[in-house]
Amino acid sequence: MQVQEGDERPLTFSHMHDFVPGLKERGQLDCHACRTTALTEELVQKYMSESSETFHQDSSTPGVRYCPSLESKVVRFPGRTHNIRLEPEGGGEKTSLEGGGWEV
């Protein structure tokens, strides 16, 4: 996996601050990027029934910020590779949130 380091001076989501509150004390956590393979697609299809709660096959989902699940991408675009981002859930956590859609 490719390490995705945080910005040296990250931008805030608010115009009320010119810094990220608490960042100096916490520091930033690295994200990691990779791409799916044929094995990934095979495993997603094999275990699709176990992730039905998060699987959104309906392409009419409203909103410009809709990010399709990995399952949706495998179903809609079989045989392609897809970007995956693993983002840490928090400073003391050992779990990561899977995201995708951005170019590596």
Q: Specify which residues 35 forms β-bridges with.
A: 83
* 3-state SS string for 27-51: CCCCEEEEECCHHHHHHHHHCHHHH
Identify the burial level of 88 via C-beta atoms within 10 angstroms of its C-beta, where 0-12 means exposed, 13-18 middle and 19 or more buried.
middle
Residue 85 has a pLDDT of: 85
Q: What is the DSSP letter of 10?
A: P
Average pLDDT over residues 36-53: 85
Instruction: Compare 34 and 103 and report the one with higher pLDDT.
Output: 34
0.85 exceeded by pTM: no
Give the model confidence (pLDDT) of 54-89 as tens digits. Answer: 555 555 656 666 677 788 888 888 999 998 888 887
103 band by pLDDT with thresholds 50, 70 and 90: very low
